[in-house]
């Protein structure tokens, strides 16, 4: 297999989309997809906002024993099965199935705006994501617990059972393990029938990845854990969210919705939730409307409203419901139910260099002498990469960590930031100063896709963004401000990432292939390199988190340890927005874990 072909197919993961077809899913005989509010029951035990990654996971689990009724309200529409093939990934910028939001100009990115790409269909972002299936490390989830307070159960031991429960793991083929040293630890995965969310490997390995693996393994200090899912950093193979019977995308819809017919599980599509209804501070239901119409429909809940609208829209719904920073709500004439300064703060996403950062090789990697069968089209996305700690790849980790910890916590936050949010940032800063020195915290992701290219990604971000309603038009899309690179340490780290990529290319294994960095070129260093990063960097790898953070209220938190919105009852948030800090990983697996863990809290409250 010529690896130029592989480049073209894997480039899909990192570039552009194909169109999807909207269909009426009822013709497939799926669960109760409703299209008119008149078809709804008067009240449900649980009303879930958003049929996305977390929303459908919750709905499936909460309806399974038949004792409680659930309604899921989804803004977008179901898409057909026709585009499910793993190799045919319907990647991101497809306007048919993603929202159309752009950030304001980012001053530290040369005033460029960032496209805010999130999924819009039944399945949410899990329907359009790159299918890379990674967890963060033990240190990173222990950090979630640290930010949560002394009795937090969100440490590694407290999240691992839910990671296992969320996924059905399929080991790689014998041939893959022999040819590529794919190893895994069965203790951190489940292969029983608890979940239909499939994590699998392709049945074909890209030959050049054998050489890439060896070159990376030979880098000084490179750890090689048996399994990256066991809480450690290093070089490892990992699965994608793919069903290896059909080699199709596995996502929240196929895992938690398709084929489930239950009288107590309703989904209504093409309807938009505007706000949560309250009796005092107790959630009683939601106000919603047909998508695109200005009307008022309501549905009541007997137990809880659960917001799973994702990191971008969850804070918008909370703010429009009167839960958020008082000054913002007053500016929009929204009566304050709970003054909660953290709603929409603490917004984080992964920064990366993609098209624009280019390198190529003079001669191809050495040949592959093992026989191999299998099908290239079973590769859904990258399966190999190095996810490593700053001390593993930079001699500057200590100086960066001490510079970071000596910052005034308020120095790089917006001017009017509330004292509790600043206190939360101070705790975040203390945690990240520790993670900067930790070889088991992933700061760099170097995906290895068996071909030259040029992708480096920063897996922890120290700048803190905001999401606020548009105060003159609260119903239109919120203002999504990454505040990218506002904390200068993020730029220092991106520089280290590039320097490491250059070292990798110059390593003894690699040098024989005569690699050339074609853009920006290795002569570009220092201030010129920093300027170049500002001109090409993306401030989103589509992993937004943090805007309804799980933290104590004194630390600017929005939800408590059981994901209940502070100051309310009958209201939870369960989605990526509750993550208090980024895992050093892509985010979907953590979202499934959060949803599975939330189910236990919700059931315990029944
Ligand atoms: C292009 C792309 C590529 C990605 N690649 C990867 C990857 O390779 N690996 C990985 O691990 N992660 C990846 N991710 C990230 C991962 O998919 C997300 O972190 C995760 O799916 C988020 O889940 P969620 O439940 O928080 O939100 P979502 O799954 O986005 O669900 C939110 C749902 O709420 C609905 N909604 C919003 N507002 C309203 C409203 N007012 N009323 C009704 N419904 C509403 C939305 O339409 C959506 O269906 C990617 C994401 C994208 C977008
Ligand atoms: C996205 O929004 C912009 C303006 O905000 C508009 O010009 C463009 O047509 C929209 N694209 C789609 C696909 O709706
Ligand atoms: C933690 O648990 C202990 C023992 O149950 C309890 O006394 C304490 O108040 C709890 N602390 C917090 C912050 O919840
Ligand atoms: C194969 O992986 C294991 C970790 O599971 C590692 O210890 C070993 O060094 C690797 N072997 C080679 C040849 O890279
Ligand atoms: C929606 O309808 C309400 C009540 O009729 C009205 O007050 C409001 O201005 C309308 N909003 C828009 C955006 O048209
Ligand atoms: C980098 O590569 C991309 C995609 O292959 C190409 O479009 C672009 O022109 C290249 N840029 C430079 C400066 O080489
Ligand atoms: C493949 O075999 C040839 C001939 O035996 C040998 O020269 C070469 O080094 C081998 N390549 C690899 C990658 O093992
Ligand atoms: C390879 O896999 C793709 C995707 O599953 C499939 O469409 C194709 O038929 C397969 N090719 C062969 C030769 O099996
Ligand atoms: C640190 O510097 C030494 C000496 O220059 C070098 O050998 C080593 O590879 C460097 N380590 C890292 C992680 O960059
Ligand atoms: C608020 O929404 C209106 C209507 O969509 C739009 O014209 C305006 O630009 C938005 N304001 C901001 C700050 O984006």
- Which of 176, 207, 178 is closest to 364 using CA atoms? 207
Ligand 8 pocket by Cβ (under 6 Å): 85, 87, 247, 375, 377-378
- Which one of the ligands is nearest to 87 CA? 8
Residue 57's pLDDT is 98
Residue nearest to atom 4 of ligand 3 (CA): 151
Ligand 9: nearest atom to the Cα of 392 = 13
Q: How far apart are CA 12 and CA 360, in angstroms?
A: 18
143 Cβ contact list (under 8 Å, min separation 6): 431, 434, 435, 580, 581
What are the beta bridge partners of residue 348? 545
Residue ranges of the alpha helices (H) in 507-605?
508-511, 526-536, 588-604
Residue 49's pLDDT is 98
Give the model's confidence band at 78: pLDDT under 50 very low, under 70 low, under 90 confident, else very high. confident
Q: What is the pLDDT of residues 496-542, one digit of tens each?
A: 999 999 999 999 999 999 999 999 999 999 999 999 999 999 999 99
Asked if 373 contacts 601 with a C-beta cutoff of 8 angstroms, the reply is no
**Residue 131 among known ligand-binding residues:** yes
Q: What is the pLDDT of residues 186-225, one digit of tens each?
A: 999 999 989 999 999 999 999 999 999 999 999 999 999 9
Residue nearest to atom 6 of ligand 8 (CA): 377
What are the two backbone dihedrals, phi and then psi, of residue 426, each rounded to the nearest 5 degrees?
-60, -40
Burial (CB < 10 A; 0-12, 13-18, 19+), residue 96, is middle
Cβ of 95 closer than 6 Å to ligand 2, yes or no, is yes
Q: Identify the residue whose tokens are 């752009």.
A: 102
**Residue 559 among known ligand-binding residues:** no
- Which of 255, 136, 256, 247 is closest to 188 using CA atoms? 136
Residue 325's pLDDT is 98
Give the model's confidence band at 71: pLDDT under 50 very low, under 70 low, under 90 confident, else very high. very high
Q: What does the radius of gyration of the chain's CA atoms come to, in whole angstroms?
A: 23
**Residue 273 among known ligand-binding residues:** yes
Tell me, in angstroms, the distance from the centre of ligand 3 to residue 296's CA. Answer: 43
Residue nearest to atom 14 of ligand 9 (CA): 394
Give the model's confidence band at 176: pLDDT under 50 very low, under 70 low, under 90 confident, else very high. very high
Residue nearest to atom 2 of ligand 8 (CA): 377
Residue nearest to atom 13 of ligand 10 (CA): 470
Residue nearest to atom 5 of ligand 8 (CA): 247
**Start-to-end C-alpha separation, the chain:** 56
Asked if 364 contacts 423 with a C-beta cutoff of 8 angstroms, the reply is no
Residue 291 predicted with pLDDT over 50: yes
> Does the bond joining 520 to the residue before it have cis omega, within 30 degrees of 0?
yes
Residue 86's pLDDT is 65
**Backbone CA torsion sign across 201, 202, 204, 208:** negative
Q: Residue 48 is encoded by which pair of tokens? A: 């879930």
Tell me, in angstroms, the distance from the centre of ligand 6 to residue 519's CA. Answer: 8
444 Cβ contact list (under 8 Å, min separation 6): 386, 387, 388, 390, 393, 456, 457, 458, 459, 496, 497, 500
Q: Residue 96 is encoded by which pair of tokens? A: 């048919």
**Backbone CA torsion sign across 176, 178, 183, 184:** positive
Residue 3 predicted with pLDDT over 70: no
Residue nearest to atom 12 of ligand 6 (CA): 519
- Which one of the ligands is nearest to 388 CA? 9
Average pLDDT of the residues in 412-440? 98
Give the model's confidence band at 19: pLDDT under 50 very low, under 70 low, under 90 confident, else very high. very low
- Which of 36, 32, 62, 35 is closest to 47 using CA atoms? 62
What are the beta bridge partners of residue 298? 287
- Which of 497, 496, 499 is closest to 507 using CA atoms? 499
Q: How far apart are CA 348 and CA 461, in angstroms?
A: 7
Q: How far apart are CA 176 and CA 578, in angstroms?
A: 37
Average pLDDT of the residues in 72-87? 75
**Residue 130 among known ligand-binding residues:** yes
- Which of 375, 482, 463, 466 is closest to 412 using CA atoms? 463
Tell me, in angstroms, the distance from the centre of ligand 9 to residue 553's CA. Answer: 43
Average pLDDT of the residues in 382-389? 96
Cβ of 294 closer than 6 Å to ligand 7, yes or no, is no
Ligand 7: nearest atom to the Cα of 366 = 13
Tell me, in angstroms, the distance from the centre of ligand 2 to residue 221's CA. Answer: 48
- Which one of the ligands is nearest to 502 CA? 9
Q: How far apart are CA 580 and CA 342, in angstroms?
A: 11
Average pLDDT, the chain: 91
Give the model's confidence band at 88: pLDDT under 50 very low, under 70 low, under 90 confident, else very high. low
């Amino acid at each position: 297999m010529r690896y130029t072909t592989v480049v073209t197919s894997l480039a899909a993961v990192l570039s552009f989309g194909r169109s999807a077809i909207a269909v009426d899913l009822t013709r497939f005989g799926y669960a109760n997809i409703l299209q008119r509010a008149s078809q709804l029951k008067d009240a449900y035990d649980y009303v879930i906002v958003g049929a996305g990654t977390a929303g459908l996971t919750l709905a499936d689990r909460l309806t399974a024993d038949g004792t409680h009724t659930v309604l899921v309200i989804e803004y977008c529409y179901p898409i057909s099965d026709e585009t499910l093939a793993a190799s045919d990934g319907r990647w991101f910028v497809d306007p048919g199935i993603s929202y159309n939001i752009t950030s304001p100009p980012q001053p530290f990115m040369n005033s460029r705006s960032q496209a805010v790409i999130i999924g819009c269909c039944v399945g949410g972002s899990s329907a359009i994501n790159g299918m890379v299936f990674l967890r963060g490390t033990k240190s990173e989830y222990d950090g979630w617990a640290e930010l949560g307070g002394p009795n937090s159960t969100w440490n590694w031991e407290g999240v691992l059972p839910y990671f296992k429960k969320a996924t059905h793991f399929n080991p790689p083929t014998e041939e893959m393990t022999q040819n590529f040293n794919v190893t895994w630890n069965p203790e951190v995965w489940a292969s029983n029938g608890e979940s239909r969310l499939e994590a699998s490997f392709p049945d074909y390995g890209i030959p050049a990845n054998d050489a890439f693996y060896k070159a990376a393994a030979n880098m000084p200090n490179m750890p090689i854990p048996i399994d990256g899912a066991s809480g450690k950093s290093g070089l490892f193979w990992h699965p994608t969210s793919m069903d290896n019977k059909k080699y199709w995308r596995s996502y929240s819809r196929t895992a938690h919705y398709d084929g489930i017919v239950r009288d107590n599980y309703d989904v209504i599509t093409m309807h938009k939730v505007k706000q949560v209804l309250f009796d005092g501070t107790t959630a009683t239901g939601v106000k919603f409307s047909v998508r695109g119409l200005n009307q008022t429909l309501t549905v009541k809940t007997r137990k809880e409203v659960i917001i799973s609208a994702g990191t971008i829209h969850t804070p918008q719904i909370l703010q429009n419901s009167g839960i958020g920073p008082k000054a913002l709500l007053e500016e929009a004439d929204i009566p304050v139910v709970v003054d909660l300064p953290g709603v929409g703060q603490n917004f984080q996403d992964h920064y990366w260099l993609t098209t624009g950062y280019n390198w190529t090789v003079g001669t191809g990697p050495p040949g592959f002498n093992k026989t191999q069968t299998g099908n290239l089209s079973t590769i859904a996305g990258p399966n190999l990469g190095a996810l490593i700690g700053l001390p593993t790849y930079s001699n500057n980790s200590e100086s960066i960590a001490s510079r970071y910890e000596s910052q005034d916590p308020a120095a790089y936050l917006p001017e009017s930031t509330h004292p509790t949010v600043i206190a939360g940032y101070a705790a975040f800063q203390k945690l990240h100063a520790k993670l900067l020195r930790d070889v088991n915290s992933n700061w760099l992701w170097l995906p290895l896709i068996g071909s030259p290219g040029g992708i480096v990604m920063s897996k922890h971000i120290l700048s803190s963004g905001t999401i606020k309603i548009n105060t003159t038009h609260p119903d239109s899309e919120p203002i999504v401000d990454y505040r990218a690179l506002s904390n200068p340490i993020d730029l220092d780290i991106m520089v280290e990432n590039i320097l490491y990529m250059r070292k990798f290319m110059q390593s003894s294994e690699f040098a024989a292939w005569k690699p050339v960095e074609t853009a920006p070129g290795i002569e570009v260093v220092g201030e010129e390199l920093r300027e170049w990063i500002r001109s090409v960097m993306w401030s989103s790898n589509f992993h937004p988190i943090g805007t309804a953070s799980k933290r104590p209220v004194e630390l600017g938190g929005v939800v408590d340890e059981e994901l209940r919105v502070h100051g309310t009852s009958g209201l939870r948030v369960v989605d990526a927005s509750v993550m208090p800090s980024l895992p050093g990983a892509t985010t979907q697996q953590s979202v499934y874990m959060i949803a599975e863990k939330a189910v236990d809290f919700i059931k315990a409250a029944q």
